[in-house]
Chain A
Amino acid sequence: MFIIVIPMKIAITATGNSLESTLDERFGRCSYFVIYDTRSNETEFIANPNREAVNGAGPSAVQLIASRGVGKIVAMHFGSKIIDLLESLHIQMIKPDSGITSVGEVIEMLGRQH
């Protein structure tokens, strides 16, 4: 019997590229995306290329994240234009409790859930 484990990747919006960095208030225009793999417990930091984009930063961010197989996104705020898009892609949106401020704390919170 095989047990198939689906790798679960979670994207977190961050203001910097370390676990101590605070969550970025913005989704599409955040400074970094942190891709956290719940299976391997590894984190990858990706500088957001659309941070200064004039148009469509939200959809571009979704494109970047979805193409990496992310199933959940943790951000403080999701814009109206991308909520429908994320729902149609079955990507879950998570807003952390107000007490959680750093990337490390989010990962800790996620660890408790798995």
Chain B
Amino acid sequence: MTESHAFRLAVASGKGGTGKTFVAVSLFYILQEKDLPLCLADCDAEAPNAMLFFKGEREKTMEVTQSIPLIDEEKCTFCGRCHEVCTYQAIFILPAMKVIRVMEEICHDCGACYWACREDAITEKEISLGEVSRYRIAGEAFIVESRTRAGVYSPVSLIKAGIAEAGNKGIIILDAPPGTSCPFIQTVAPADYVILVTEPTPFGLSDLKQSAETLRSLQKPFGVIINRAGIGDQGVQQYLKEQAIPLLLEIPFDPALAVAYARGLNPAASSQALGEALSDLFNKIVAAYGNCSHQR
């Protein structure tokens, strides 16, 4: 970790509601003590909530858009070339009935149809996918929030824009969306290390396995935090042992902490023990993986 290279730490899980944001906002809270640029990128663009735990001034908001083909039916000869080149089947055409439609939510903005049209019948139309906002929390500590507009098919472009806005300096925490599909992969792809947060239940274990397999295929170093330890069963511990996956930390189930969290209090502010444990963990991770950026 140096001034010119950011250390990116993604906090992810497979299952929703295991405590990704709980861990991410706690880390952000304790890392403000370090004298380094710090940014938390809330990549759960379909339901961003990290800002619920902080007060900050919004410095910037930018709209993220994509282009959609707009077909002039007067000029269109219904030749079908645009339909043929579309990998995503986003152009629906019935030449005999002179019907042509763009399926906007399927369009991936690849641009092939503009190139394919020989009649100059296709122009670009911009549609909004959502917003990326940057909040200054204190000094050089920022939160970047990606927020998808309701109804948008994929949050991937918003996540990409949010990670870019988080910059390339100091410590960057990436709060990942649940699941293991494209939004998850987009978030963990730039990370130097990934913390998977799980709960010791069969649900937690099932989704943890999927996340761990995905991270292995991406060749990302990762470890696991078990949240709400003490409930459920021993399945997760057993799996971690069998697979030789590091168990980074167990956060005991504590109703008082849950109540404080539900009221919008930062867990690391409510529990000094949690703050210290996460601080130690972060230092160990940086010591082991902090130079990854240079070696790549």
Contacts and interface: CB of A to CB of B under 8 A. Distances in A.
Interface stretch (B95-103, B211-219, B242-250, B262-270): B95-103
17 contacts: A55-B87, A55-B88, A55-B89, A55-B106, A56-B89, A56-B90, A57-B89, A59-B89, A59-B90, A59-B92, A63-B92, A66-B97, A67-B94, A81-B105, A81-B106, A85-B103, A88-B101
Nearest to A61: B89
Contact of B89 (A60, A67, A89): A60
Report, as a range, how many residues of chain A touch the other chain: 10 to 19
Among B88, B89, B101, B105, residue most surrounded by chain A Cβ atoms (within 10 Å): B89
Given A53-B89, A66-B94, A85-B92, A59 B103 contact: yes
Contacts of B97: 66
A50 B92 CA distance: 14
Interface string B68-104: 0000000000000000000111101110110101010
A55 B89 CA distance: 6
A75 interface: no
Could you tell me the dominant secondary structure of chain A's interface residues? helix
A22 B101 CA distance: 32
Given A81-B103, A81-B105, A56 B88 contact: yes
Contacts of B90: 55-56, 59
Interface of B: 87-90, 92-94, 96-97, 99, 101, 103, 105-106
B106 A56 contact: yes
Contacts of A62: 92
A63 B93 contact: yes
Contacts of A63: 92-94
A67 B101 contact: no
Nearest to A60: B89
Interface string A60-95: 101100110000000000000100010011000000
Nearest to A80: B105
List 5 A-B pairs, minimum CB-CB distance, nearest first: A56-B89, A55-B88, A59-B92, A55-B89, A60-B89
